A and B are shown apart, each in its own frame.
Chain A
Amino acid sequence: MNQNNIKFRSLTRIRSYILLLFLIIAVVFVLFVVNISLGSVSIPPVQVIKTLAGIAVDNISWQNIILQFRVPKAITAVLVGSGLGISGLLMQTLFRNPLAGPFVLGISAGASLGVALSILAGMWFGLALTQSGIAGTWALAAAAVAGAFFVLVIVLIISSRIRDSMSLLIIGLMMGSATSAVVSILQYYSRAESVQAYLIWTFGSLGGVTWEELEVFVPVILTGIILSWLITKKLNALLLGDQYAESLGMNIKKARFLVILITSVLAGAVTAFCGPIAFIGIAVPHLARSLFRSTDHRLLLPLVAMTGAVIMLGCDIVAQVPGTEFTLPINAVTSVIGAPLVIWIVFKRQDLSSSFS
């Protein structure tokens, strides 16, 4: 009787989960179209859908704007939201800390160092990366990847030597601070134009990603998402703590290595193509959990990916300040929306510190 009751309840729970997931996917589609139709030039959503469906539109310039600029940007927003959301979820689970995000291990700091070296120090060696402007994202992306990878390797080496995940968190934070300090020194000795170019990179940008870059960006993020889906069982066991997870037969060092690697791939790729995007990684997992209370990563993962896409598409719509010529730096928008979101969740769930997941 009781057992049947529980079974019944878990069935209705799964049903409501699937409904919620479909609802959010629908919202992603709607926001995708809205995102494309809004901007400095407003395009009617019907025309957007027609263009996306491959039906010829009367206004060729609209078609160009949509296909060359806005569609890649909207796809980028979806990738950034999903990628950062999932890497935030992975870090919060690994460290069992509600404030962990994709960048706690110094990945964005490492990327910043790479970019800073290429922009700021680059001129000392006669490299003129800044000349090609922010649009020269390939070089910047390569520099960011190199920097992020450098920090990642150090963190991975350290993680294979220590048993305690909490120590790793502290080491990650310190690595971040140290790399930021190097960036500060570089800035201090650089010319104003270079500093400005670097600063603009730190503001983040979804618009700089071209179709060719998406050919790399899309598979990288998809790989990260699929890999994280493959380790959901390990993630669930990690919730019991390192020692219990180990007693269940899990190789904790291998699991930690995988989690860090996947996080780095996702967060590193996003940072390389779009700059350091703040707050999304921390806020999205909490938002997803508040939509559906669960600790099961098999359920959380798709939800976090879709919620991330919704938030990022929304942030980008706000950043364009619809109906005006202005655009805001995306990083400012994500922080302005993300910070109150986290505060709201903390207020709503007073017990956050003991039960964030």
Chain B
Amino acid sequence: MARTPVISSHDLAAGYASGKQKKIILSHIQIEIFPGEIVCLAGANGIGKSTLLKTLAGLLPPVSGSIMLKGKPVVSYTRQEIARLISVVLTTRIPIGNLRAREVVALGRYPYTNWLGLHSAEDEEKIKIAFGMTGTRELESMLIYELSDGQLQKIMVARALAQDSEVILLDEPTAHLDLHNKISIMKLLKDLSSKTGKGILVATHELELAFQVSDRLILIRENGTLESGTPEDLILKGSIDSFMNYSSVIFDKSSGKFLPVRSPGPALMVHGTGIPYVWTKNALERSGYSVAREGSEYLAAIHIDIKNDRVFWTIKYQNTMEIVYSIESLLNCLDKFFLHV
């Protein structure tokens, strides 16, 4: 049985239309999000990720083309029905810092409550679940301006959860967060998609994070074309290399990381294993040396050894040999040898 996407777009053009003037930012967009999957929408800053997301959410009218929700055109739904199907986490700040986290999350029940906004037992239950799933119970009675950026983002995710929609669209949910919070938010979204069966679309420019969590990745290229697939397929196809077309950055296929381009410095042979080897290599490359392959030429050799749980490095250069006990001394020593090179 073919699955029906919860949200899909057909030849959609996103942009701003005011009066006769049309400003199309992205066109011919075909996107499908299925239940239970997390899809990352990646592209450089300013490429139109937000515009596309807002168009999908119904916050911007499509310039042309159509959006389908569960196989039916979006125009056949009422505002309230759409709000029960799509929730969003936007980049805009909540203008009122004096709201309590609980009030923000409770407003997620807006599409379900009566004119006075009174909560039923079910509403209360959904709010409780939203706090529980995001691990934010202890934040309930805090004012939102007291929250850290990471906590606030979790509350905004909780608010979207309380809205109990089938799709959640998130715009740069990891922007302005430290690494720990970035990973924690992405993991939370990943867990939510698999546990709740919601379709989750995350716009982000952080590909490394996207590789780790997304079931599918949609790349928006500089020229506005879209490419979709599992992250691994895209990496193997070489789509990522051509995607990030910066002269100063290269994509390392073996690690899935973006690395700064380095001009090959003095080649060194490094003998060693395990974690000390990894970080020695990291330190050398970061300082402008290159690590020679087995059998190729090199200027100096470094042996990593461990004695009594202590790591030490033996450097052999021409006729001299030195032993050092930290990476810092290793680099100083190498500088001494090669500074004039």
Contact = CB atoms under 8 A, between A and B. Distances in A.
Interface in B84-122: 84, 86-88, 90, 92-100, 102-104, 107-108, 110-111, 113, 115-117
Interface residues of A, number: 30
B163 interface: yes
Contacts of A240: 94, 96, 99, 104, 107
A243 B59 contact: yes
A6 to B, nearest CB: 7
Interface of A: 2-3, 6, 9, 96, 230, 232-233, 236-237, 239-241, 243-244, 246-251, 293, 295-296, 298, 351, 354-357
Contact of B116 (A9, A233, A239, A251): A233
Contacts of B82: 249
B143 interface: yes
A243 B90 contact: yes
B115 A230 contact: yes
A354 B79 CA distance: 30
A236 B115 CA distance: 12
Given A2-B137, A249-B79, A232 B92 contact: no
Contact of A241 (B58, B86, B92): B92
A328 B87 CA distance: 55
B80 interface: yes
Contacts of A298: 116-117
Nearest to B117: A233
Contacts of A293: 98
Contacts of A248: 83, 107-108, 110-111, 163
Contacts of A355: 96-98, 143, 145
Given A2-B137, A351-B97, A357-B98, A249 B111 contact: yes
B128 interface: yes
Given A233-B117, A239-B95, A356-B98, 19 more contacts: A236-B103, A236-B107, A237-B110, A239-B96, A239-B107, A240-B94, A240-B104, A241-B92, A241-B93, A241-B95, A247-B83, A248-B163, A249-B111, A250-B110, A295-B100, A295-B103, A296-B103, A354-B98, A355-B98
Nearest to A296: B103
A237 B107 contact: yes
B98 A233 contact: no
Contacts of B86: 247
B128 A3 contact: yes
Interface of B: 54, 57-59, 78-80, 82-84, 86-88, 90, 92-100, 102-104, 107-108, 110-111, 113, 115-117, 128, 137, 140-141, 143, 145, 163
Contacts of B93: 241
Contacts of A2: 137
A345 B211 CA distance: 50
Contacts of B57: 247
Give the interface centre of A230, A246, A249, A354 by most chain B CB atoms within 10 Å: A249
Contacts of A249: 78-80, 82-84, 110-111
Given A6-B141, A295-B103, A241 B94 contact: yes
Given A233-B117, A240-B104, A355-B97, A247 B88 contact: yes
B115 A246 contact: no
Contacts of B94: 239-241, 244
Contacts of B116: 232-233, 298
A253 to B, nearest CB: 11
Contacts of A244: 88, 90, 92, 94, 107
Contacts of B102: 6
Nearest to A2: B137
B145 to A, nearest CB: 5
Contacts of B143: 355
A295 B99 CA distance: 6
Contacts of B140: 6
A357 B99 contact: yes
Contacts of A230: 115
Nearest to A166: B95
A315 B273 CA distance: 84
A70 to B, nearest CB: 38
Nearest to B103: A295
Query: What 10 pairs across the A-B complex have the smallest Cβ distances?
Result: A249-B83, A355-B98, A355-B97, A233-B117, A248-B110, A354-B97, A96-B95, A249-B80, A249-B79, A249-B111
13 contacts: A6-B141, A232-B117, A239-B99, A243-B92, A244-B90, A247-B83, A248-B111, A249-B78, A250-B110, A295-B99, A351-B145, A354-B97, A355-B143
Nearest to A231: B115
B23 to A, nearest CB: 14
A6 B117 CA distance: 19
Contacts of A247: 57-59, 83, 86-88, 90
A320 B139 CA distance: 51
A243 B87 CA distance: 11
A184 B163 CA distance: 52
Given A243-B90, A248-B83, A355-B143, A295 B96 contact: yes
Contacts of A237: 107, 110
B7 to A, nearest CB: 14
Give the interface centre of B82, B95, B97 by most chain A CB atoms within 10 Å: B95
Nearest to B54: A243
B122 to A, nearest CB: 16
A2 B97 CA distance: 24
Contacts of B110: 233, 237, 248-250
A295 B143 CA distance: 11
A357 B103 CA distance: 13
A239 B88 CA distance: 16
